[in-house]
Amino acid sequence: MQRGNQSYRFIFSFFIVLLFCISCSQMKTYPIDFEQLGEDERIVIRFSHVVGENTPKGLAARQFAEIVKKRSNGYVEVQVFPNGYLYGDGEELKALSNGDVQIIAPATSKISTIVPEWSILDLPYAFNDESELHHYLTNSIGQELIEKLERKGFHTLAIWENGFKQISNRDYPIYEPNDLNTLKVRIMPSRFIERQFKMFNADPKIMDFNDLYSYLENRSVDAQENTLSNITSKNIHSIQKNLTISNHGYLGYVILVDRDFWRELPEEVQHIIEEALAEVNEWQWNLARKINQEKLSFLEACDCIDIYYLTDEEKQVWEDAFQPVYDYYVNRFGSKYIDALPKVEGGIDE
């Protein structure tokens, strides 16, 4: 009888040890890779933008998503939706406020629809290059602009680049502002850009970037302004005959989140996102320059569009002709934003 008890005890202990070993071995293989968790157990951030994947913004969004995934072991997943697939120009900001997406990257011009002072960046020939602009935005005057956005409920995470805009037209080359007379020109939603074209009796049409090709094709518009990376990414050079390298206006992006969404994120997640952006930002700026240069070489070689380069004297004529838009800006917002421009005496130095 005692012998029987002993063998039961032995078998019982054996099973306990076996169960312990099994659970230990399972603990070792438990997923530390959060990707295996369901969407409701991870943090999923939807990043919507309106351009193609092979553009400076599209490539940077993907790179940012990769870094966030790696740094968080998959706990934070940034899902990127390019080409206005989720939301077009007029819808992005609302979708962000509603929590339908968590990150957007609208052009600074589009930001002027909610904080019109941001139009300072749209003023033609306001900045000579991107570094002047970064300096302006990181200075106290630029921080005021960013603060205004914050008060509207939008938190700025970064500024990305796409360089300067050029003008293309279907039927004839644009050499001087008066060549814009009566042309229907596609523009981004910005009252200041609209004013710039109206000044020269053009007919500016605000429309979504992703509708541009078809509107040019069906001749609803004659002309458009954009960076070379955007122009080539939508094949616009194939249906426009004339391109003027004018570098007249800036195109950059504000990487935005909803302020409340941001505040509610765990601090370590905020750090991961900020560090990932810190890693991407400068790379993105250089990439934008490189892609736009490559696109210029491509267009020069393709024999598909006639390119005209404005001379420095001609640029000066354009710049002088745009002076009334500067005056209008001062009338609406006072002179402090313009006085701080690097080109103005006493403005921000690099």
Question: Residue 280, interface with ligand LMR (CB under 6 A)?
Answer: no
Contact assessment for residue 229 and residue 299, using Cβ atoms and an 8 Å cutoff:
no
Q: Tell me whether residue 145 or residue 188 sits nearer to ligand LMR (CB atom).
A: 188
Q: Does 230 bind ligand LMR (CB under 6 A)?
A: yes
348 near 136, Cβ under 8 Å?
yes
Q: Which amino acid is at 81?
A: F
Q: Which residues contact 139 (CB under 8 A, 6 or more apart)?
A: 340, 348
Nearer Cβ to ligand LMR, position 51 or 340? 51
Task: In angstroms, give the least distance from the CB of 136 to ligand LMR.
Answer: 20
Position 126: which residue type? A
Given a contact cutoff of 8 angstroms between Cβ atoms, the answer to whether 207 and 186 are in contact is yes
325 binds ligand LMR (CB under 6 A): no
Rounded least distance, CB 104 to ligand LMR, Å:
10
Residue 68: strand, helix, or coil? helix
Q: Whose Cβ is closer to ligand LMR: residue 63's or residue 139's?
A: 63
Instruction: Please say which residue, 162 or 281, places its beta carbon nearer to ligand LMR.
Output: 162
The Cα–Cα gap between 107 and 160 comes to: 9
Q: E strands of the chain, at which residues? A: 43-48, 76-81, 103-104, 154-169, 184-187, 203-206, 223-226, 242-258, 306-309
Report whether 223 contacts 168 (CB < 8 A): yes
Rounded to a whole number of angstroms, the minimum distance from the CB of residue 24 to ligand LMR is 53
Dist CA 126 CA 18 (whole Å) = 75
Size of the residue set binding ligand LMR (CB under 6 A): 9
* Cβ within 8 Å of residue 322, ≥6 positions away: 123, 124, 125, 177, 196, 199
Bridge partners, residue 307, by sequence: 243
Is 188 a binding residue for ligand LMR by CB under 6 A? The answer is: yes
Kindly state the smallest distance separating residue 21's Cβ from ligand LMR, in Å. 57
Q: Supply 294's token pair.
A: 């490559």
Binds ligand LMR (CB under 6 A): choice among 166, 226, 232, 242: 226
CB of 51 to ligand LMR, least distance (A): 5
- Report the distance separating Cα 106 and Cα 291, nearest Å: 19
89 versus 122: smaller Cβ distance to ligand LMR: 89
- Residues numbered 45 to 74 that lie near ligand LMR (CB under 6 A) are 50-51
Q: Looking at beta carbons only, is 102 or 226 nearer to ligand LMR?
A: 226
Would you state the structure tokens that stand for residue 180, as one six-digit string? 């814009």
- In the complex with ligand LMR, the residue whose CB is nearer, 43 or 193, is 193
Distance spanning both ends of the chain, measured CA to CA: 95
Q: Choose, by CB under 6 A, the member of 47, 136, 209, 329 that binds ligand LMR.
A: 209
The DSSP letter of residue 347 is S
Question: What is the x/- site pattern for ligand LMR, positions 124-163, by CB under 6 A?
Answer: --------------------------------------x-
Using rule CB under 6 A, residue 107 touches ligand LMR: yes
CB of 163 to ligand LMR, least distance (A): 10
Q: Nearest distance from residue 160's CB to ligand LMR, in Å?
A: 10
Q: What are the residues binding ligand LMR (CB under 6 A)?
A: 50-51, 89, 107, 162, 188, 209, 226, 230
